[in-house]
Structure 1
Amino acid sequence: MPDKKETHTIRESFNFAIEGVVEAIKTEKHMRFHVWATFMVIILSFMYGVTKSEFIILAITISLVWITELINTAVESSIDIVCKSYHPLAKNAKDMAAGAVLVAAMNSLIVGYVIFDEKLDIIFRQTFEFLRNSHKHVVSIIFVIVIVAVIWVKSYHKEGTPLKGGMPSGHSALAASIWVNIFFLTENIKVFLLTFFLMLMVMQSRIEGKIHTPLETIYGALLGGGLTYFLLVVLKV
Structure 2
Amino acid sequence: MRKFINGFKYAFKGMGYATATQLNFRVHLVATLLAIVLGFYLHISPAEWCWITACIALVLIVELLNTAIEILVDLVSPGWNEKAGHIKDVSAAAVLLTAIFALIVGAIIFIPKL
Alpha-carbon offset, residue 88 of structure 1: 1.2
**1:90 has 2:84 as partner:** yes
Unaligned runs of at least 5 residues, structure 1 = 1-7, 121-237
1:1-237 equivalent positions in 2, closer than 5 A:
9-120=3-114
User: How far is the alpha carbon of 1:89 from its aligned partner?
Assistant: 1.0
Quick one: which amino acid aligns to residue 78 of structure 1?
L
Equivalent position SS for 1:50 = coil
Count of aligned residue pairs for this structure pair = 113
1:41, 1:92 → 2: CA distance?
Answer: 32
Runs of 4+ deviating beyond 3 Å: none
Q: Give the root-mean-square deviation of aligned CA atoms.
A: 0.8
Larger Rg: 1
Partner AA of 1:99 in structure 2: A
Q: SS of the counterpart of 1:9?
A: helix
Q: Which residue of 2 aligns with 1:132?
A: none
Secondary structure of 2:44's counterpart equals: coil
- For 2:64 and 2:83, the matched residues in 1 are separated by 20
Quote how far apart the aligned CAs of 1:101 are. Answer: 0.1
Partner deviation per Cα, 1:192-235 (whole Å, 9 max, x = no partner): xxxxxxxxxxxxxxxxxxxxxxxxxxxxxxxxxxxxxxxxxxxx
Distance 2:4 2:24 in 1: 29
Letter in 2 for 1:38: T
Structure 2 distance, partners of 1:73, 1:31, is 9
Q: TM-score, normalised on structure 1?
A: 0.47
Q: Deviations over 1:18-37 (max 9, x none)?
A: 11011101100111111111
**Aligned mates of 2:89, 2:18 — CA distance in 1:** 18
Taking structure 2 as the reference length, what is the TM-score of the superposition? Answer: 0.96
More helix by share: 2
Q: CA deviation at 1:11?
A: 0.5
Whole-Å Cα distance in 2 between the matches of residues 103 and 21 of structure 1? Answer: 21
Identity %: 36
Give distance in 2, aligned partners of 1:9 and 1:81. Answer: 26
User: What is the CA–CA distance in structure 2 between the aligned matches of 1:84 and 1:18, rounded to whole Å?
Assistant: 27
Instruction: Report deviation, 1:86.
Output: 1.2
Task: Give the counterpart letter for 2:44 in structure 1.
Answer: V
